[in-house]
Structure 1
């Protein structure tokens, strides 16, 4: 994986969560990987459900450890960067959905999340959001009210097992046969890039006919 990433010669590396499983006891491989990735390009990291569940289970602050390893962790935060003369705003947000009434739900305070997005969108820079779970950006109309240019997301594992002429068999929070589960989507004025990712959830079903992927995006 490191060899392939070096060949891409990236200006930025985005990780949208679930770099570990929530029941892990040893996180040094994750931190060692981040250190090696940082030698290739700056890393921006948004937390996935497995990192959040790991923190709740162990009480360990993964954000602190990831940032010491060299990643910039973004959770309801954004940073302004300039790359090759181009100005970007990069933010991160973990949520499953933002309801229209901005109620508090099990994935956070929707009002606070919406306020963060409104602050993030208030710029002339090109706006990129890292957000682990795709549901908000693909299935809920509320997302279209925020002025974001590009969203990177994951979580769906590409459907775990991909069946010919059918597609993905199962995706977390989406159930069986949920439809298209990777690629580029258009949601209003926003592009959403959904990755199949590199790993697997063997508790449900092994990964089958579902080639792991590193997503390489060229912005023009």
Structure 2
């Protein structure tokens, strides 16, 4: 019994470490169109939190985000979990990170699996906290004389023509430099539509949804991901297609499968630099 109990304790501690050991992954994105005033601009991406807790009131997670010294924080969906929903915890987390810098949010599939009352409570709570809900919206981000376009896709709009329409409309209302292609960052929860994003010619896509493949094995990578099945193609890291780069976050929380394996929760930090 003592041996069995020891084994059980070790397994519990191991699983807890796999689920709670935060990692920050740093990327550098070089853009030809980036103005000098945006040199070194940092975007921190938080994806697939699924109501997970990292310390009391998520303070450990908040502190790690602050350490990145971001200029912007983007939340790319599944902030809550539809199977174990805690709207207050999600809003409280956003209440803290808006104190660091501007926060932009797009929905994931779990937000649309909520009860209508929970969904409304979440959206109103995020708005009160000061986050910008960017579902099917385009905003211009500027610092000094430089700017770029930030596009958010509602999770229901990922697989249709919404992205192209949003960018065409933004281009039509642009001022005199409309002939010049503006650097564009897209927030889209699901990565399996890379061909669609690349077909429209966006520069950088920040995505999540795949949970890093849940279990990651050497020389194999992720084992299973939502909407991609076994041995999924897009689970974590950088992917390229026709001039478009997509960065996929491993996410932070779990949903149906409660344990990660060799797949630590991830904060993504992207630094923009000019291509010379």
- Do these two structures clear the TM 0.5 threshold for a shared fold by scoring above it? yes
Q: Deviations over 1:54-78 (max 9, x none)?
A: 1547452533321111110111111
Mapped partners of 1:172, 1:117: distance in 2 = 28
- Are the aligned partners of 2:191 and 2:234 in contact in 1 as well (CA < 8 Å)? no
Alignment gaps of 5+ in structure 2? 1-60, 173-177
- Are the aligned partners of 2:87 and 2:122 in contact in 1 as well (CA < 8 Å)? no
Mapped partners of 1:126, 1:183: distance in 2 = 21
Q: Does 1:7 align with 2:67?
A: yes
- Are the aligned partners of 1:160 and 1:205 in contact in 2 as well (CA < 8 Å)? no
1:189 pairs with 215, 237, 243, which one? Answer: 243
Q: Find the counterpart in structure 2 of residue 219 from structure 1.
A: 272
Which is higher, the Rg of structure 1 or of structure 2? 2
State the aligned residue count.
205
- Are the aligned partners of 1:55 and 1:61 in contact in 2 as well (CA < 8 Å)? no
Q: Find the counterpart in structure 2 of residue 19 from structure 1.
A: 79
More helix by percentage = 2
- Are the aligned partners of 1:169 and 1:178 in contact in 2 as well (CA < 8 Å)? yes
TM-score of the two chains, using structure 2 as the length reference = 0.68
Specify whether residues 186 and 112 from structure 1 end up closer, same or farther in structure 2 by C-alpha distance, changes over 3 A only: closer
Q: Find the counterpart in structure 2 of residue 107 from structure 1.
A: none
Mapped partners of 2:213, 2:69: distance in 1 = 29
Q: Find the counterpart in structure 1 of residue 34 from structure 2.
A: none
Q: Does 1:173 align with 2:227?
A: yes
* Range that drifts further, 17-26 or 43-52: 17-26
Q: Does 1:208 align with 2:258?
A: no
Q: Which has the higher contact order (CA 8 A, sep 6+)?
A: 2
* Range that drifts further, 111-120 or 48-57: 111-120
- Are the aligned partners of 1:47 and 1:75 in contact in 2 as well (CA < 8 Å)? yes
Q: Secondary structure, in 3 states, of the residue corresponding to 1:219?
A: strand
Q: Find the counterpart in structure 1 of residue 168 from structure 2.
A: 118
* Superposition deviation, residue 26 in structure 1: 2.8
1:82 pairs with 142, 159, 178, which one? Answer: 142
Mapped partners of 2:141, 2:271: distance in 1 = 17
Q: Find the counterpart in structure 1 of residue 49 from structure 2.
A: none
Mapped partners of 1:112, 1:85: distance in 2 = 29
Runs of 4+ with deviation above 6 angstroms: none
Mapped partners of 1:114, 1:180: distance in 2 = 22
Alignment gaps of 5+ in structure 1? 99-109
- Are the aligned partners of 2:223 and 2:230 in contact in 1 as well (CA < 8 Å)? yes
Q: Find the counterpart in structure 2 of residue 103 from structure 1.
A: none
